């Protein structure tokens, strides 16, 4: 064992000597010089300036300011918007990956803010990973403590990624006053008439902007990594232009919201589906009066034309041909029922709605939201009239309307006779749907319970009156 150990020790010594001899004495310029070379190549391709600090080197690009006026007072009147006296900083990042894990680095940070009515944009680029601390310091100095961040999906991606980078650098993320993520706002207001909620789609549908020759997001990480391996920086020019457009689109979306919906009179001219989405946003903040005004305007606009604009005929045809609920049991287009959990259709505005965007805004769906809102406002008689109008239909929604009408008549208005009439109307609708092969056992059970309770209460009142 001693000889074997001595042999291994000699072999290890010879291996170390060979490795030491294989490494050249002059390995080239130091790491700082390599980083400086990457920064020079990057600055030359982007027409930017090199910023050298004690923490590292970054490249800073700035374009001329553009006029994008936004009335902050009118913008602040909308739900979920920042106060009018706080600065706004639009932020968008380009990264080395599509995840927020520790291995993903933000190598390009686009920033934009207002100076009066003009929008100023600055881009911070990372020449090499070793210079990240300089990039983080520059970002922290740009965001004021009372500023609001404006992003697109920034709550789910951009900002958590930057917070992770600050933590890895053993530093605190910049303090800011708030975070306005425009993605939920676009989804809530405009998704009903858009193919998807991507920023590029929002630009085309809302702002009328169509990008030409834009780089896809999945290409960006590979282009940057290729640059770090010694490739040309020309491939990053399109990425920088892409980021520049993203940041500017954030500002233009805010301007669109302010101009289109900030004024109550101008707001009434918007599309009915947009008004219905805005009403829900107002209702989430318990601003029920403004929400009702939006729904009233949406009902007026819905009578004048199709609710969903140019997509309405296509979606209506699709509903006529593909809706499961409207197909009889014998139709080959209706899927067979094999048991298990039933697929509930997206009931328009009711409690059984399963997907926010499965059903487009229709006059019926807007009327349902309006009826619910009237009840929340305590206007029970108006709510009963709204549900009564919906109960005049023949579909599943009419059955739900009879149930809601019975609740109001019994518990709020104290009219048991009218409540029983609504229940009987619901039974007739369920019987009709049963003949068409579309039974509603859950709704029928609800009506049966309601019918039995009304009968018991009526009997109790009758006995008391006799006594």
Tokens of 255: 């301007």
Global pTM reads 0.79
Predicted pLDDT at 104: 93
**Partners of 92 in beta bridges:** 110
Predicted pLDDT at 334: 57
Predicted pLDDT at 314: 37
Predicted pLDDT at 354: 38
Predicted pLDDT at 161: 95
How far, in Å, are 300, 312, 335 from residue 359 at the CA level?
A: 20, 12, 19
> Which stretches of the chain drop beneath a pLDDT of 50?
1-2, 23-33, 309-323, 338-342, 345-358
Query: Do residues 60 and 141 touch, judged by C-beta distance below 8 A?
Result: no
Predicted pLDDT at 315: 44
Beta strands in 55-131 (DSSP E): 56-67, 88-95, 106-115, 118-125
The residues near 251 (Cβ < 8 Å, ≥ 6 apart) are: 68, 70, 90, 112, 114, 119, 150
CA dihedral for 126, 128, 132, 138, sign (positive or negative):
negative
Side-chain half-sphere CA neighbours of 256 within 13 A: 21
Domain 32-261 sits in CATH at: 3.30.420.10
Query: What radius of gyration do the chain's Cα atoms show?
Result: 31
| Residue closest to 61 by CA, chosen among 77, 45, 73 | 45
Predicted pLDDT at 35: 54
Predicted pLDDT at 352: 40
Domain locations in the chain as residue ranges? 32-261, 266-325+346-377, 391-467
The CA distance from 336 to 318, in Å, is 20
CA dihedral for 34, 39, 45, 50, sign (positive or negative):
negative
């Amino acid at each position: 064992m001693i000889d074997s150990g001595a042999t291994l020790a000699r072999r290890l010594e010879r291996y170390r000597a060979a490795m030491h001899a294989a490494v050249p004495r002059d390995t080239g310029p130091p790491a700082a010089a390599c980083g400086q070379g990457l920064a020079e190549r990057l600055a030359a391709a982007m027409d930017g300036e090199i910023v050298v600090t004690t923490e590292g080197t970054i490249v800073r690009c700035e374009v001329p300011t553009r006029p994008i006026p936004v009335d902050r007072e009118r913008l602040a009147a909308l739900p979920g918007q920042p106060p009018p006296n706080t600065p706004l900083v639009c932020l968008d990042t380009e990264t080395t990956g599509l995840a927020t894990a520790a291995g993903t680095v933000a190598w390009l940070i686009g920033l934009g803010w207002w100076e009066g009515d003009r929008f100023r944009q600055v881009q911070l680029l990372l020449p090499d990973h070793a210079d990240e601390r300089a990039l983080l310091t520059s970002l922290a100095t740009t965001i004021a403590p009372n500023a609001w961040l404006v992003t697109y999906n920034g709550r789910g991606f951009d900002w958590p990624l930057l917070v992770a980078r600050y933590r890895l650098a053993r530093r605190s993320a910049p303090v800011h006053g708030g975070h306005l993520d425009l993605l939920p706002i676009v989804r809530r207001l405009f998704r009903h008439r858009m193919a998807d909620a991507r920023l590029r789609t929002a630009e085309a549908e809302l702002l009328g902007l169509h990008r030409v020759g834009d780089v896809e997001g999945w290409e960006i990480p590979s282009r940057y990594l290729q640059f770090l391996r010694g490739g040309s920086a020309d491939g990053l020019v399109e990425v920088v232009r892409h980021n520049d457009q993203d940041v500017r689109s954030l500002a233009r979306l805010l301007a669109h919201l302010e101009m289109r919906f900030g004024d109550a009179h101008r707001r009434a001219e918007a599309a009915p589906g947009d008004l219905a989405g805005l009403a829900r946003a107002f209702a989430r903040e318990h601003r029920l009066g403004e929400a009702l005004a939006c729904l009233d305007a949406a009902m007026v606009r819905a009578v004048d034309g199709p609710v969903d604009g140019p997509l309405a005929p296509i979606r209506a045809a699709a509903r006529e041909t593909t809706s499961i609920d409207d197909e009889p049991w014998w139709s080959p287009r209706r899927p067979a029922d094999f048991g298990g959990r039933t697929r509930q259709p997206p009931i328009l505005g009711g409690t059984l709605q399963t997907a926010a965007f499965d059903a487009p805004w229709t006059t019926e769906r807007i009327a349902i939201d309006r009826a619910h809102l009237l009840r929340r406002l305590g206007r029970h008689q108006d709510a009963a009239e709204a549900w009564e109008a919906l109960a005049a239909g023949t579909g599943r929604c009419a059955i739900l309307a009879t149930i809601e009408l019975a609740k109001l008549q019994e518990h709020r208005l104290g009219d048991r006779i009218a409540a029983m009439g609504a229940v009987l109307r619901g039974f007739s609708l369920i019987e009709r749907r049963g003949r068409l092969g579309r039974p509603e056992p859950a709704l029928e059970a609800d009506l049966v319970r309601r019918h039995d309770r009304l009968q018991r209460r009526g009997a109790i009142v009758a006995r008391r009156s006799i006594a």
